[in-house]
Amino acid sequence: MSRHKKLASVLLALAIMAAYPASASTSTMQNKQAAPTVAEAEQFLKNAEERLAKLSGNAQRAAWVYETHITDDTETISAQASELALAAAGEIALQARRYNALPLSVESKRKLKLLQLSLSISDATEREAYTRLAASMAGEYGKAKYCRQAGDPTSCLDLGQIEKIMAESRDPALLKEVWLGWHQQAAKYKDSYAKYVALSNKGAREMGFLDTGAMWRSQYDMPADAFAAESERLWQQVKPLYDALHMYVRLKLRQTYGKDEVPKEGPIPAHLFGNMWSQSWENLYPLVKPQGPGASLDIGETLKNKNIDARAMTQFGEGFYTSLGMEKLPDTFWQKSQLTKPRDREVVCHASAWDLDNLTDVRIKMCITPTAEDFLTIHHELGHIYYDLAYRKQPHLFKGGANDGFHEAIGDTVALSVTPDYLHNLGLLKDVPDVSQDIGVLLNRALEKVAFLPFGYMVDQWRWKVYSGQAKPADYDKVWWELREKYQGVKRPAAMEVNGFDAGAKYHVPADTAYARYFIAHILQFQFHRALCREAGYIGPLNRCSIYGNKKAGEKYQAMLAMGTSRPWNEALKAVTGEEQMDATAILDYFAPLKVWLDAQNKELSKE
């Protein structure tokens, strides 16, 4: 699962998203000023955009250097650039309140809303501490290693090496060991995280929000509580499908590991899902795949046999977007992106997309390997890039996704079109299997997409509790595992450790990247896919639809991308789907044949 760019210093202050306005309050000083005018407000917005564009560009570049060359010096440089941007955004956010009551244009009123969705840490010392803590945690995560033997550096494993073990090993003792080993690393920055949370909350309260969690939930053109209710509605739509998949995987894991390792009911130990966070289960596919011949999208061996390297894999991704009528990537993309892991330095390998000048200096940062997973990840990351390019002519404050879930959904929508027909067209799949063999492909994709839904939902539920104070540092792990058991049906493979910080073992927690976007993105991508297939005139099983090469669908998609965040997200949704409400029934439509099969399998396997 790849994600959109995130500055090491967490520039929430520069988040460009659809926003519900913060509650306005006018200071004593402002009361003494002359009444503001429309002309003054327009000039203020012009100056603010120019200033933020410059500072955000500087901070992005500093963060890029830091994440591709992790040293103490680059960490400091990144933190300093972020602090300058944060200070400016907070100052501008407070000033923007002065103009809230003016009869401005729709565009200008929206800009004021976006400006006020910002942290404002007015104390310089605290602001510096906030940015340094953020950069430090990102660095600690990027450098973390689990050493199997104390004092022996040759036994130390980084996350990539541990993930490979998690994906390939079937030794439950080894899986448990490395799972625990990685999670222990996060305890190093638990205290830093608690301090960071306190400073972040202070900044959110300066802007009139109850806490940072409330500020995050207010980024969706609706009140914070309404967004929480909407998320629960969407989860309830897909829960029956997840429950069927969870039951099937449990039964197959019991066959593999035995009844002592996998309980008949209740939560399943988290280390057995082939993934460090049990957030996607596709590595279990060899254990759970249907019997008999079946279709497969695993092109890993083909990529290796054909010596298709990281650049060529990325060019395949670019080719999909250009087949829709979109532009070729700039030459600088190929010159400046990090496509493979350097041998001479520490880097953050977590896949991400970057827009360094809000124009055409776009890049991706990955450590690409010739696997089917990375092939899909490239299509995802390029979705961010093509979104960035599409809205580059918008004013600075509108250069962003309609909401943060949109930005994540764009490339994943394209990845849903990575079908047998598409891969065959590229020469990566020899034969196109019959539709009757699709259960295997659907199951594999469900292990990735459906399995992720409750994890995508619960991460920010945990953080909302942390930011609101419901989960104190002493209870971080307790609350984390309560939520994981409730929504995912997974449990910690060993007793919780004193001063543990299991949530911090997930990149997005120390990086302070809001996670609800990924849950929303999983809903939107299927909704987009269904609509674009309809636009392309496709008739047939939704999982077999690929919009590759369809200019009509591409034109409609591009028109929505070009809107950026200039309009509320439901208008952008309507531009593609004709619908104004997020709807998870597209997921149910896509996986409908699999649901029938899962129910039948569960009935039979339960008899054993």
CA nearest to 586, candidates 463, 394, 449, 435: 449
Residues 491-510: b if buried by 16+ CB within 10 A, e if exposed: bbbeeeeeebbbbbbbbbbb
Q: Which two tokens stand for residue 276?
A: 């460090």
Identified catalytic residue from 49, 282, 381, 408: 381
| β-pairing verdict for 268-269 and 156-158 | unpaired
| 376 within 8 A of 418, measured Cβ to Cβ | yes
Distance of CA 87 to the CA centre of its chain: 26
Distance between CA atoms of residues 467 and 503, nearest Å: 14
Report yes or no: 163 and 442 within 8 Å, Cβ to Cβ.
no
Tell me how far apart the alpha carbons of residues 111 and 397 are, in angstroms, rounded to a whole number. Answer: 6
Instruction: Identify whether the C-beta of residue 344 lies closer than 8 Å to the C-beta of residue 71.
Output: no
Distances 590 to 83, 146, 439, 493 between C-alpha atoms, Å: 45, 40, 12, 33
**Strands annotated E in 367-422:** none
With beta carbons less than 8 A apart as the criterion, state whether 316 and 422 touch: no
In sequence order, what are the beta bridge partners of 490? 268
Give φ, ψ of 395 to 5 degrees: -60, 155
Catalytic residue among 350, 380, 508, 529: 508
- 153 burial via Cβ count (<10 Å: 0-12, 13-18, 19+): exposed
| Amino acid code (one letter) for 80 | Q
Q: Specify whether 381 is catalytic.
A: yes
* Residues 360 and 332 sit within 8 Å (Cβ to Cβ): yes
- Residue 305 gets which letter from DSSP? H
Q: Indicate the residue type of 131.
A: T
Active site amino acids: 381, 508
